[in-house]
Amino acid sequence: MAATASTALQITAARPTISSTCRIFKAGVASVGADSKGTSCAKLASACRLSSVQQFQCNLISSPAKFRKFSVKAVSESSETKPASGLPINLKGKKAFIAGIADDNGYGWAIAKSLAAAGAEILVGTWVPALNIFESSLRRGKFDKSRVLPDGSLMDITKVYPLDAVFDTLDDVPEDIKTNKRYAGSSKWTVQEVAESVKQDFGSIDILVHSLANGPEVNKPLLETSKKGYLAAISASSYSYVSLLKHFIPIMNPGGSSISLSYIAAERIIPGYGGGMSSAKAALESDTKVLAFEAGRKHKIRVNAISAGPLGSRAAKAIGFIDTMIEYSIANAPLQKELSADEVGNTAAFLVSPLASAITGAVIYVDNGLNAMAVGVDSPVFKDLNIPTHKH
């Protein structure tokens, strides 16, 4: 599911690239240098500007996390003389917990950046075996280029929690996992324990993001998938969202919002996307509707899903043909361009903001319109129809 366009905030599978023209305009608008393919982040930047009587100051909160802390101050030169215009996405004062970030090139990371750009405080849950590498990369500055926000500051992750969302409670963890050396040195990583730790550290949150999926037999056709592999895909990719909401809702403030990430395989046939993963995504979308009703009625929490197009992230590489899917999408979608991770991140920022206060139980497609197509227009049968195309 990878992005290779040159937006300054864009996350790419091969190498995140940051424009050297990041700057603060005198009009008080936080902006970022981008080419014609990179307008979405600039739009988010303009939407996140502060009022004319405010200076934009980013004082990052120190925390017991192991990695370096950064304090960055970005102030518009004329913010006190010219009023801001436009419709703002303002998440200042909100806390977001994002489950499933283990590197800097997936949708979870892009969502974290967009929420941070809108002012939210970012908390992260990282799969236990990947925790040391992720925190080490943060400490060593490996992710610094891809941490750059529209105002030129670096996204701050207030705290990283070890998390294995397959397990609700410690009683659910089998002995071979408890004694596995990849889990050595970490504690309190089940969903219940992480929710309790977040409550102890921060009291409450406003935003919950589920960016988790795993299918150990994803390369197998469904007819060749074992029961163990099928149930593992359902457990990690869909039930984990139910579990996260169950344990985090008690510490979510009324009016809060939750998002999960789905894929068109939930409702269309994607040959090669096997091992029960299509079933897991279908369950995730169905659960989104039920959870929206239950969480809305009982807790005033909104629940939505984003069905994102293909991105060549490290996780997606496990499917084995993600590059082909990206090429297919570019050739057949109404918008002939490569999908960028920041486009999904910006949609997430909108969905969790007050601007989307009446949207819940929805699956929002962010795929350049590919979901609307009934046929692949790159098929030879359409060669005489003179369908408009452009090179990319």
- Listed residue (314, 313, 293, 315) closest to 304, CA to CA: 293
At residue 16, the pLDDT reads: 39
Residue with tokens 């979870």: 108
pTM above 0.85, yes or no: no
CA angle centred on 79, ends 75 and 85, rounded to 5°: 120
Fold (topology level) of 95-372: Rossmann fold (3.40.50)
| 351 neighbors 116 (Cβ within 8 angstroms) | no
At residue 384, the pLDDT reads: 75
pLDDT per residue rounded down to tens, the chain (392 residues): 433 333 333 333 333 333 333 333 333 333 333 344 444 444 444 444 333 334 334 333 344 444 434 333 333 333 344 555 678 899 999 999 999 999 999 999 999 999 999 999 999 999 999 999 999 999 999 999 999 999 999 999 999 999 999 999 999 999 999 999 999 999 999 999 999 999 999 999 999 999 999 999 999 999 999 999 999 999 999 999 999 999 999 999 999 999 999 999 999 999 999 999 999 999 999 999 999 999 999 999 999 999 999 986 666 666 667 888 899 899 999 999 999 999 999 999 999 999 999 999 999 999 999 999 998 888 887 777 778 777 65
Which is the catalytic residue, given 40, 153, 197, 238?
Answer: 238
Which is the catalytic residue, given 94, 95, 113, 281?
Answer: 281
At residue 67, the pLDDT reads: 41
The span from the CA of 220 to the CA of 138, in Å, is: 35
Question: Catalytic: 298?
Answer: no
At residue 28, the pLDDT reads: 37
What are the angstrom distances between the C-alpha of 285 and each of 234, 238, 239, 266, 364? Answer: 12, 9, 11, 7, 10
Classify residue 391 by its DSSP letter: -
Task: Give the burial string for 298-327 (b: 16+ CB within 10 Å, else e).
Answer: ebebbbbbbbbbbbbbebbeebebbeebbe
Question: Catalytic: 238?
Answer: yes
Per domain, the residue ranges of the chain are: 95-372
> 176: exposed, middle or buried (C-beta count within 10 Å: 0-12, 13-18, 19+)?
exposed
